[in-house]
Amino acid sequence: MTYQLTESDTYDKAHQDADDWRTREIAKDIAKRKGVSCSNLLYCSIHLLQLQCGSMHPL
């Protein structure tokens, strides 16, 4: 049995991919502006994702 993506599934995937890309780019920009090292870039990305999702859980 093969699963075929519906137009809605394809749109949702493209939307999620765009959100993920945008989040990474914003995190890179924040890191550059604040002089954050590459090792802290992941932390910035996760924090930004939490802000976008409305999550208030500390890292």
For 1-59, the pLDDT digits (tens) are 566 768 888 888 899 899 889 988 888 888 787 776 666 667 777 777 777 766 555 54
* H/E segment holding residue 20: helix 7-34
Q: Is the pTM of this model over 0.75?
A: no
Domain ranges of the chain: 19-59
**Contact (Cβ atoms closer than 8 angstroms) between residue 46 and residue 23:** no
**Would you state the pLDDT for residue 59?**
46
